[in-house]
Structure 1
Amino acid sequence: MEKLVSSLVASLSILVLTGCDGAQDPKPGPVPIAPSMDTSRDILSTNLALDVTAMTGEATIVLAGSESTGASLEVPGLSVTSVASPDSTLPIQYAVQDGRLDVGVPESSDPIELRISYSFATQSNFDGYLAEKLTFLWPRFCGNLFPCKSAPSEGVSFTMQLSGIPMGDTAVFPAEIPSDAPTYMPAFALGNYTYVMLGKTTAGTEVGVYHLPGEEAAMMEGTKDLTAFFDWLEKTYGEYTFGGKVASVSANWGPGAYGGMEHHPYWHIARDAMNDPVTHAHEAAHGWFGDGVRIACWEDFVLSEGTVSYLAARAIEAVGGTTAGQAVWDGYQSELDAVLPTEDTILMLDTCNEIDLIVHPLWSNVTYMKGAFFFKAVEAQVGRDKLDAAIKKFYGTHKNAAARMQDMIDTIQAETGADISVHVNGWLKGMGKP
């Protein structure tokens, strides 16, 4: 009996020892990174896969490597359902607050890919996907269609796929925007579109137009010289960087809408403006300024709109002759005289991204027209060829990057050797017109 007890005790000791050893706490594993705000994280590229019937999307966003473990994107009009990353062995944690998506990502010197699934909604105030079956993201509404950063200096390359296209509709959108572009630039339009190839430029860019039923005559009137306009822009200022095919696209924005929107390479033109060559030339010119060279701050709005208003007049004169060009300037003068009494403002401000452009006085035809007449005045002083060479130099230096209007002024003065301060002070920094 004594031996049995001893054996039993020995056996129990072994069991206890074994049990104690097996019950040790496991070593803690890696902990997912908590989401944190970092609005400075650089976005390298965005791929969008959008289902326009289900109103869902997946954005594959590549972030630049960083020591930061946070990344923030604007999502005010989105409902985010998941965030994942093939570059992380851990689940990606995220939080949405006040229209901002904060994500926790590993510290890395290499780019990090995020895959964000979400749904989007129809918007009603020219601020996202519209009931008219097209998008309008200018100036800061990209976050109503995809996760983004809406700062005007932000430059991203894009790819896009659409599904769920309604029967009978054609989807007009760029499958790829290969160079850094502002985040308001990607767009799509759905409708009963007909494509007409207008021609090719000397550089080989195919130029066309997508029109809706009943617009044939207006389309031909407005775009008959569009290929020549684009050819002149390429030859005069440098290569186009957003692909080998471009087009004007009729935009059904509703009655009373006029003008266009620089959604290169398929820029949108209001149906009521389809017969207007100036609008087509203006939006085409945004491929060089506004899109090709992004504005660094909203306060640099004149660098976009003033410059392309000037270029549109120049393109029309180059193709249609002096009389056609003068007709554009006469129209500009009438527009300026109409808005100056009630909407005049100073075009160059010392701040950067401290204004809400939508409600600021810069958001008016004053900026377009005074900006155009500034360049016309400089042309009269330094000569057309010298000004063209300076604008070309500026574009070559800053294309697919962001710049300020002061950079344009500095380039013109450096390249021409002229002091243009009288025009800067008169047209850009002063009230009224010189």
Structure 2
Amino acid sequence: MKHLFTLAWASIPLFLLAGCGDGDSGKGPEPGPIPVAPTQNLDRDILSTALALDVTALTGEATIVLAPAEKPGASFEVDGLVIQSVEDSSGQLEYAVQEGRLDVGVKESAENTTLDIKYTYTTQKNFDGYLAEGVSFLWPRFCGNLFPCKSVPSEGVSFEMALAGVPSGKQAVFPNEIPADAPTYMPAFALGVYTYVALGTTKAGTKVGVYHLPGEDAAAAEGTKDLAAVFDWFETTYGSYSFGGAVASVSADWGPGAYGGMEHHPYWHVARDAMNDPEVHAHEAAHGWFGNGVRISCWEDFVLSEGTASYLAARGLEAVAGQAAGEKIWSDYQTRLDDVIQDEDTVLMLDTCNTIDLITHPLWSNVTYMKGAFFYRAVEAQVGRDKLDAALAKFYGTYKNRAAHMQDMIDTIQAETGADISVHVDGWLKGLGKP
């Protein structure tokens, strides 16, 4: 706990203590602000977070802007951090850390309040923070191992980031700014000997590229040959991208055996072993619209992120690379679906909100990706591609940079197409096996 004032009484002259010699009334100095005791308040909204990280010293400073609040206090997840100080514009604030939660003694306010939090962090070993491989990995609830945050998926925060202490000979790839509300697992950085390759500029002016590591020239070229065109198709079909004017796939050295990607927009990470896979690059790009562009309200809405992104990856690649490319992806999806439902099948739509541990729940498996993708494909077959695309664009426009439920998507599709899609909802999202 930190206290606001320490008075060195021995250094104050006695005549001042007595109020003599200056004609005053004998009153002492005006008292300063009364400190607020550390107060738990997880409801105080975080508007923005500016991070200054030293990746060698493992120190951090987070400048956090809080929304107005009628109640005092503010709380953050800090599981992997050691807090050194918390201040606002008046000076140091009292705080307490217990059970991985930082409670700050900040007053209620009708205006935004800015906190400055200094801390240290550590290297993590289980894909849960800053990894020894030189990359950060915050999905799904590990932002508190890198900066003070709230990992609930509906929380939307804009970010700034600055890095110091980058080892000589290495480059840090990270966004200086994430200008729109984003989920708190989204900001990330990667250190390595990177080569940047410009892939093109979309009609909306977004620059698309790839950062690859040594020896990955051919793999990166193969995996991203259609990425700029796919990104352009997403923008044209579903709406404008909201996380900056430059995006890229970034090779992430996650170690042997790692595959897939992570939606750390605008510079999403792709495992080294997956750099040659166009579907992985397209999938992570699609999260700029669904998963990140529209956040999920609850972990139980996971299919809104992953099922939608899987469907859009297939659609985007077919649109720019041809029907054969699309058929190949759907054939691969079918194989994955048949494999996963044998031992990891689960209902995708649950009646709870944030009561599951996504990491251990069956939703955190290919079943969500594949059954979600086939749900959209079934809806497409019923209503037609044009109508489904229009519904997806309507949904994105309505919930852009906000949180939504999968039920909101279902309601939007039915309202926009005029179709009853309950048979597909019941079969793919609420049932087991394949309809």
TM-score in terms of structure 1 length: 0.94
Count of matched residue positions in the alignment of Structure 1 and Structure 2: 416
- 8 Å Cα contact 1:32-1:91 kept in structure 2: no
What does 1:97-246 align with in structure 2 at a 5 Å threshold? Answer: 97-246=98-247
Matched, 1:319 2:316: no
Alignment match, 1:358: 359
Amino acid at match of 2:365: S
CA shift digits 1:248-289 (9 cap, x unpaired): 000000000000000000000000000000000000000000
Q: Given the alignment of the two structures, is residue 45 of structure 1 paired with residue 48 of structure 2, yes or no?
A: yes
Spell out, residue by residue over 1:87-122, the C-alpha distance to the aligned partner (whole angstroms, 9 max, x if none): x3x531111111111001122110000000000000
Give a deviation string over 1:233-256, Cα, whole Å, max 9, x none.
000000000000000000000000
Q: Retained in 1: the 8 A contact 2:314–2:330?
A: yes
> What is the DSSP-based 3-state SS (H/G/I as helix, E as strand, rest coil) of the residue aligned with 1:433?
coil
Please list, as runs of the form range in 1=range in 2, the aligned pairs for 1:264-275 lying within 5 A after superposition: 264-275=265-276
Q: Quote the Cα distance in structure 1 between the aligned partners of 2:231 and 2:342.
A: 35
Q: Which residue of 1 aligns with 2:336?
A: 335
Distance 1:395 1:276 in 2: 27
Question: Could you tell me how far 1:415 is from its partner in structure 2?
Answer: 0.2
> Partner of 1:344 in structure 2?
345
SS in 2 for 1:228: helix
Could you tell me how far apart the structure 2 residues matched to 1:250 and 1:33 are? 46
| Aligned equivalents of 2:203, 2:382: Cα separation in 1 | 31
Corresponding letter in the other structure for 1:161: A
In 2, Cα distance between equivalents of 1:244 and 1:25: 58
Question: Which residue does 1:255 correspond to in 2?
Answer: 256
Structure 2 length as normaliser, TM-score?
Answer: 0.94
> What SS does the aligned partner of 2:199 have?
strand
Matches of 1:303 and 1:268 in 2, distance apart? 20
Measured in 2, the distance between the counterparts of 1:229 and 1:44 equals 31
Structure 1 distance, partners of 2:273, 2:339, is 21
Asked whether the equivalents of residues 85 and 92 of structure 2 are also in contact (C-alpha less than 8 Å), the reply is no
2:6 aligned partner:
none
Partner residue in 2 for 1:395: 396
Which runs of no fewer than 5 residues in structure 2 stay unpaired?
Answer: 1-17
2:62 to 55, 59, 64: 59
Alignment check: 8 A CA contact 1:69 1:104 kept: yes
1:78 aligns with 2:81: yes
Cα distance between partner residues in 2 of 1:177 and 1:24 = 52
Secondary structure of 1:210's counterpart equals strand
1:30 CA drift (Å): 3.1
SS for the counterpart of 1:199 is strand
- Could you list the runs of 5+ residues in structure 1 that have no partner in the other structure? 1-15
Give secondary structure in 2 for the equivalent of 1:32. Answer: coil
- Runs ≥4 residues deviating over 6 A: 21-27
CA distance in 1, matches of 2:246, 2:29: 60
Change (3 A) 1:386 1:187: same
Q: How far, CA to CA, are the matches of 1:137 and 1:291 in structure 2? A: 14
1:275 is paired with a residue whose SS is coil
In the alignment, the residues of structure 2 paired with residue 321 and residue 396 of structure 1 have an alpha-carbon distance, to the nearest angstrom, of: 27
Query: CA 1:24/1:400 → structure 2, altered by over 3 Å: closer, same or farther?
Result: closer
The alignment status of 1:290 with 2:271, answered yes or no, reads: no
1:383 partner letter: G
Give the counterpart letter for 2:402 in structure 1.
A
**Aligned partner letter, 1:318:** A
Deviation, 1:388, is 0.2
In 1, distance between residues paired with 2:332 and 2:56? Answer: 42
Q: Percent identity?
A: 74
Structure (1 or 2) with the greater helix fraction: 1
Note the C-alpha offset of 1:290: 0.4
Partner Cα distance (1:107, 1:409) in 2: 39
Name 1:13's counterpart in structure 2: none
Q: CA deviation at 1:372?
A: 0.1
